[in-house]
Structure 1
Amino acid sequence: MTSSDGDLRHSPLHTRHVALDAVLGPFGGWTMPISYPDGGVLAEHTAVRDAVGVFDVSHLGTASITGPAAVAFVNRCFTNDLERIGDGQAQYTLCCAEDGGVLDDLIAYRVRDDELLVMPNAANAATVLERLTAAAPDGVRVTDRHSELAVLAVQGPHSAAVLDAVGLPTELDYMAFQDVSIESAGLTSQVSAGGGPVRVCRTGYTGEHGYELVLDAEAAPPLWDRLLVAAQARGGRACGLGARDTLRTELGYPLHGQDLSPEITPVQARCGWAVGWDKPEFWGRDALLAERRDGPGRRLTGLRATGRGVPRPGMTVLAGGTPVGSTTSGTFSPTLRAGIALALLDTSAGLKKGDVVSVDVRGRALECVVQPLPFVPSHVR
């Protein structure tokens, strides 16, 4: 995963993206595909909603935490309660600072009591690993595997058919995973002997039925090729991070650095469901308990434009001419054919579903209505 683009890193699939004439751009310290020709973001978004899309998300961090009581250790760090899940299950959780701000949101994969795989965001992986390493007790080891592993995502109504076509398991509950051999994916002649397993996870970031695949970096290119052939046979295509962003915004899924951040807490971002409130210990516990008790001064809310225009992050939201917050994410929704946004709005404004506000789009007032999240139905379960 070396790079010639300054300090930017390359995915193990970089040459595949170049061969497909992908529009490449920097993301979290990596050069990643933003979109591909023949339709771009709109066509890729539609493919995921209607058929299937194949994403390279190898920029996501990967780290193993191993050793006696590794699960118990991580449970004292992150917000969610790992005792709610069993071996072979995954959990969305948050890494918070002591003041309750979110340093990262991530997925934790519970392999067994003495082993987890955690998947932080690319830009925050080093921070999360440094905090875990500093806090780890004797016997618990935190290992950065970012350069060793690749992560692919297959998302959409035909995602199970694509995995079936390449010999990978599909009968998994939501947020469950299964390890299968490289041989099961038909890759024995294309990768070196002794390669690790393919971890098939019923997870995703699009709101559609889908899977994420974690495997050795050297095995990723041939698997990508086979997945793409199977997807194209079912009306699907390769998809970049542009479509990933429009898809997640339609579902109201937060993006760290915009909807979650060191300045935005889980309570403000409506992620309290990912906090184990009854746990005796986790980073930021006291601050978050106090904020939940007192009530947050602002909350993440959906906005849908009623006229022509697209809200973008960082725009002022007004009610009756008075500023009441700002947008954190904003885009054009290909599904709704309208501009949508996530916004942090002052709770003191008392805004509710159907209320009309305006977003200051470069000096022009864009009328929007307050709308509960998600903007479109989820099909993940």
Structure 2
Amino acid sequence: MADATLKQSPLHDRHVALGAKFAEFGGWTMPLEYSSGVVKEHTAVRSAVGIFDVSHLGKAMVSGPGAADFVNATLSNDLAKIAPGKAQYTLCCDAVTGGIIDDLIAYYQDDEHVLLVPNAANTAEVVRRLQAEAPDGVSVVNHHDDYAVLAVQGTRSDEVLQRVGLPTGHDYMSFVEASFDGPGVVVCRTGYTGERGYELIVANEGAPALWDALLAAGEEFGMLTCGLGSRDTLRTEMGYALHGQDITVDVNPVEAGLGWAVGWKKDTFWGRDALLAVKEAGPERRLRGLIATGRGIPRPGMRVSLTHDVALCDITSGTFSLTLKKGVGMALVPTMVHPDAEVGVDIRGRREIFQLTKVPFVETSVKES
């Protein structure tokens, strides 16, 4: 029986009809996998195309005179480095500690309109903090329950969108405003799988027709419906951090290797002083990739050690890479450990050897034009 306290996507009935298995994500009940299973869904995205319902993601509009300047004065990245029609990965950091409250995408529509897409569990807090600091004339409206987000990901994603008349071919981290069967659709060249693809933001009432059309269009390209289980294995292969596991309010951008998403030359953003101090002193730990030298498969919470007697940290994300056929993971490793060192991971009482490495673990098509 469904948990009445959890929110549902406007496509929930479609997922039930497709035989999806559900799980809780950030207060929402969302498809974990379909009858095809995680392995086939993952492989479809890497080799052809898959479609995800990620409507649990937050949506918030910052609007009014000076809206873009306000976003730039609060969130970490430098919005002034991009033009309208572009998207930017950015961070909402704690003003005092610099810890990561959330990572999100900012869609810069114009100087008076910036659409933010935070993580589901953190949307209310991000909106609350922005509303508390918004100057007169700037509004921050939570549209979490008003819009669906569909992700079409994979090397054949362009063909699928073209079949339904939506624009394709724009640059990575850019977006185009279009329409489908009446309702407006924001077609974003973004995603969380590492493959070429698009995220489509559409009002709830327009989501079912768009979903149905995309499923029909994708048949000839081998498109599979994909759940958040394969989304997790895909993002882990790319070394993309997940808030609540790899990054939290207790982890700052320098530790997380996300200094590239900080506008260090800006005069102001939340957490600036704390982060400049960490950058100058150097972090005591860094988010590192780990790849198995044997058959071990790491899972979150497993202990990482330098030797049998020297514990270092715990795995934050871990899975079996379906592309590499090896276990891969991430952990916040003390910086005193050599970045290429071998470490042990306690897998059910057995110490398996892993090599520290840079991410991503696999090469993909995400930025191909």
TM-score calculated relative to the size of structure 2? 0.97
**Partner residue in 2 for 1:246:** 233
Alignment of 1:1-381 (within 5 A): 5-38=3-36, 40-97=37-94, 98-181=96-179, 185=180, 187-188=181-182, 195=183, 197-321=184-308, 322-349=310-337, 351-353=338-340, 355-381=341-367
Give 1:295 shift.
0.5
State the 1:229 CA deviation: 1.6
The letter for the 2-side match of 1:43 is K
Deviation at 1:332, TM superposition (A): 0.8
Unaligned 5+ segments in structure 1 are 189-194
Moved over 4 A (4+): none
CA–CA distance in structure 1, aligned partners of residues 281 and 109 of structure 2:
37
Identity rate, percent: 56
Counterpart CA distance in 2 for 1:165 and 1:5 is 37
Q: Which amino acid aligns with 1:335?
A: T
What is the identity, as a one-letter code, of the residue corresponding to 2:90?
Answer: T
User: Separation in 2 of the partners of 1:284 and 1:42?
Assistant: 40
Contiguous gaps of at least 5 residues in structure 2: none
CA shift for structure 1 position 259? 0.9
Distance between the aligned counterparts of 1:73 and 1:57, measured in 2? 27
Equivalent position of 1:192 in the other structure = none
Q: Give the superposed CA RMSD.
A: 1.1
Residue 53 of structure 1 aligns to which amino acid in structure 2?
A: G
- Work out the CA distance in 1 between the residues paired with 2:325 and 2:366: 22
Count of residues paired in the alignment: 365
**Cα shift at 1:4:** 5.6
Q: State the Cα distance separating 1:315 from its structure 2 match.
A: 1.6
Q: Take 1:286 and 1:313, find their aligned partners in 2: how far apart are those partners?
A: 31
| Counterpart residue type for residue 240 of structure 1 | G
Question: CA-to-partner distance for each residue in 1:294-338, whole Å, 9 max, x for gaps?
Answer: 000000111011222211112211112211222110011110111
User: SS of the residue aligned with 1:223?
Assistant: helix
CA distance in 2, matches of 1:163, 1:240: 20
Distance 1:280 1:380 in 2: 32
Q: TM-score, normalised by structure 1?
A: 0.94
Q: Give the distance between the partners of 1:342 and 1:63, measured in 2 at CA.
A: 30
Distance in 2, matches of 1:273 and 1:50, equals 29
Measured after TM superposition, the shift of residue 147 of structure 1 is 1.3
Cα distance in 2 for residues equivalent to 1:50 and 1:241: 18
In 1, the alpha carbon distance for the partners of 2:103 and 2:231 equals 16
For 1:233 and 1:286, the matched residues in 2 are separated by 53
What is the rounded CA distance, in whole Å, between the counterparts of 2:129 and 2:339 in structure 1?
39
The CA deviation at 1:367 is 1.2
Aligned AA for 1:359? V
